[in-house]
Amino acid sequence: MKKLAVIISSILLSSAATAADSYQSISNLGFQHEASSNNNTVAVDSIYYLAPKNTLGPYDQFEYINKQSNVYGGYADDDFGDVTAIGGEYFIENFMLGASYSNLDSGSHREFYTLSGGYFFNPNLLAKVTLVENKDGEDFALFDLAYNHMLNSTDYVGVTLTADDDFDYRAVAAKYFIDLSQGNYLTFEGKYESIDDAPNQWQLETNYYFTKATSVFANYNKQDNYSFGAQHFINKNVGIKVGYGNNADDSGNDAYFANMRFQF
């Protein structure tokens, strides 16, 4: 159960640094409809960086390891409950500090507080520990090691290793960003989770950018859930994303989703 709490309450932020456009605030307003259960989900989130973040070309691609101090918040509501999360990160020299609060209300009420600290051994290698206080269960700690390997001035491979203090939760996540030149870009992402007394999990995703404003995406996971869709930025500040999801073994699990993204 605590592993599920980690996944729900964590907000994982990707980033990347090279020239082009820069932003200090990124906000999303999303909606999803699941046909089989007639369940609607509305979600909103926002993050504000204390200094501008540069893109890697596409409007929504940033450096793999974030190095900008920030505050963030999010809220999601569906027919079964709601989730609220707030937090922030502060970077000074080679150190980072973070804190967050999340509240899950879905029949039962659960609260989580986190306090994290990290150290950059170099700009591309971050070690971090996160202490999680579970108000309704066992407290625990998470350990992360994130590494970003630059293949050239734009392309990179990023890898993050995660484990809890009992080592009964282990995960590895990776991302490959490629500048194909001529204004085209490609990303591959994957995550594998190993959990004691539970089935292992994996998921894959890819994005192809026709331009820095227009892209298509697709993802797939071990449960045979898949989704695909497209995103287009009307201008450098407003983007629209739409998609469709289902399950390869059960075609009755139709899901339709849309998201508006605001960057300034």
Beta carbons of 173 and 163 less than 8 angstroms apart = no
Fold (CATH) for 2-263:
Porin (2.40.160)
At residue 3, φ and ψ (nearest 5 deg) are -65, -40
pLDDT of residue 28: 98
Three-state SS string over the chain comes to: CHHHHHHHHCCCCCEECCCCCEEEEEEEEEEEEECCCCEEEEEEEEEEEEEEEECCCCCCCCECCCCCCEEEEEEEEECCEEEEEEEEEEEECCEEEEEEEEEEEECEEEEEEEEEEEEEEECCEEEEEEEEEECCCCCEEEEEEEEEEECCCCCEEEEEEEEECCCCEEEEEEEEEEEEECCEEEEEEEEEEEECCCCCEEEEEEEEECCCCEEEEEEEECCCEEEEEEEEECCCCEEEEEEEEEECCEEEEEEEEEEEEEEC
Residue 138 tokens, joined: 């066992």
**Predicted confidence (pLDDT) per residue in 100-119, tens digit:** 999 998 777 889 999 999 99
Which pLDDT value is given to residue 128? 98
Angle in degrees, CA 181, 228, 215, rounded to 5: 25
* pLDDT tens profile 109-161: 889 999 999 999 999 999 999 999 998 889 999 999 999 999 998 999 999 99
Q: What's phi and psi for 210, nearest 5 deg?
A: -70, -40
Give the per-residue pLDDT at 106.
78
Question: Residue 211 — φ and ψ, nearest 5°?
Answer: -140, 180
Find, among 119, 127, 121, 140, the residue nearest to 9 by Cα. Answer: 140
Predicted confidence at residue 109, as pLDDT, reads: 80
Residues of the chain under the 50 pLDDT cut: 1-19
pLDDT at 263: 98
- CA dist 168 and 2 (Å) reads 11
Per-residue model confidence (pLDDT) at position 107: 74
**Beta strand pairing status for 70-78 and 39-54?**
antiparallel
Q: What is the pLDDT of residue 8?
A: 36
